[in-house]
Amino acid sequence: MAEAGALMSSGVWIERYLTDEAIRLGLSGFAAGSLTGVAWRIAGNVRWRAMVVVMAVLVGAGLTGRSDWPQWDPASGCGAILVLLAGAGTARLLAESAIGWQWVAVGALISAGGVWAGVPETGPALLVAGAVAGLAVTAAITRSQWEPSAGVGLAAVLGWAALSGAAGRPWAALGGGLCLGVAPWFAHLPRATRGWGRVRRFGLLGGHIALVILASRWIGVDPHAGWGRVVVMVFAGIVVAMTVRRQA
């Protein structure tokens, strides 16, 4: 009986989230990211900057007819500050070539998943996730590299997904912004003096995953989350970033 209930619950989950529209948005984003990456590579550019990421999402939005915009309020303003910090932090991570752009791409996809799980309107997050995945696959196949400014593009499109997906709900806007995980807190930390080993990379990714889960499920989905949780999340993000940086 319990087994039948679990299967029914799984079926409801699939029916609710794996819809035709969700599949269309994800695949459209992937196609847009792949096509943009191929076009940039054909043009002879092996080092991709912010414009590549932004253009991929714009193409995907055009293909799917999306024109989502944030509903501005104080919470969205705080979320925008987080996005700016994340752009600077991600750029610094990409500047440290020893960490590898692939790890940053995986982190961006995890952030997109957190935004999807933490805001009411999930369409922008699906579009961004598909575009980033398409760019990552194309870059790997063509042996291209992501320049530090690509981190600014990643933060911009993830911020768009978070703030527009919040649909006027303040805690969803803040939770979505905090789904950028460790990125905002690397903006002002000193650069690592030693290389990034495999253990340090996995530590960074593990901390990022934990922060994204907390931001999306502890703040984003709770309409009464409160500033206390936001402060705890900010403190946790700074601690994770400082700990990983010190050990790197």
pLDDT at residue 141 is higher than 90: yes
Task: Read off the pLDDT of each residue in 107-128 and give the average, rounded to a whole number.
Answer: 94
Residue 154 lies in a domain: yes
Q: Sign of the C-alpha dihedral, residues 246, 88, 187, 32?
A: negative
- 27-83 pLDDT tens trace: 999 999 999 999 999 988 888 899 999 999 999 998 888 888 888 888 889 999 999
Residue 193 lies in a domain: yes
CB neighbours of residue 121 within 10 Å:
16
- pLDDT reported for residue 17: 65
In contact, 25 and 125? CB cutoff 8 Å:
no
- Which amino acid does the sequence have at 231? V
* Structural domain contains residue 169: yes
The number of CA neighbours under 13 Å toward the Cβ of 96 is 23
Give percent above pLDDT 90 in the chain. Answer: 61
Q: What is the pLDDT of residues 163-194, one digit of tens each?
A: 999 988 999 999 999 999 999 998 777 766 56
Examine residue 2 and state whether it is found in any structural domain, yes or no.
Answer: no
Whole-number average pLDDT of the chain: 87
What per-residue confidence (pLDDT) applies to 8?
47
When divided into structural domains, the chain yields a total of: 1
Convert the pLDDT of each residue in 25-37 to its tens digit.
999 999 999 999 9
- Domain range for residue 141? 14-247
- Asked whether 158 and 112 are in contact (CB, 8 A), the reply is yes
- Taking a C-beta distance cutoff of 8 angstroms, is the pair 165, 66 a contact? no
Q: Is 119 exposed, middle or buried (0-12, 13-18, 19+ CB in 10 A)?
A: buried
Q: Which residues partner with 146 through β-bridges?
A: 48
Residue closest to 71 by CA, chosen among 153, 156, 160: 160
Q: 48 has which bridge partners?
A: 146
Is residue 30 assigned to a domain?
yes
Residue 31 lies in a domain: yes
Asked if residue 147 is part of any domain, the answer here is yes
Q: Which pTM was predicted?
A: 0.89
In DSSP notation, 178-245 reads: HTTTTGGGGSSSPPPSS---HHHHHHHHHHHHHHHHHIIIIIIT-TT--HHHHHHHHHHHHHHHHHHH
79 CB-side CA count, 13 A: 35
Is 80 a domain residue? Answer: yes
Distance from C-alpha of 90 to C-alpha of 122, rounded to nearest angstrom = 23
Residue 50, token pair as written in the block: 């912010």
Pair of tokens at residue 183: 């990125």
Q: Is the pLDDT of residue 245 over 80?
A: no
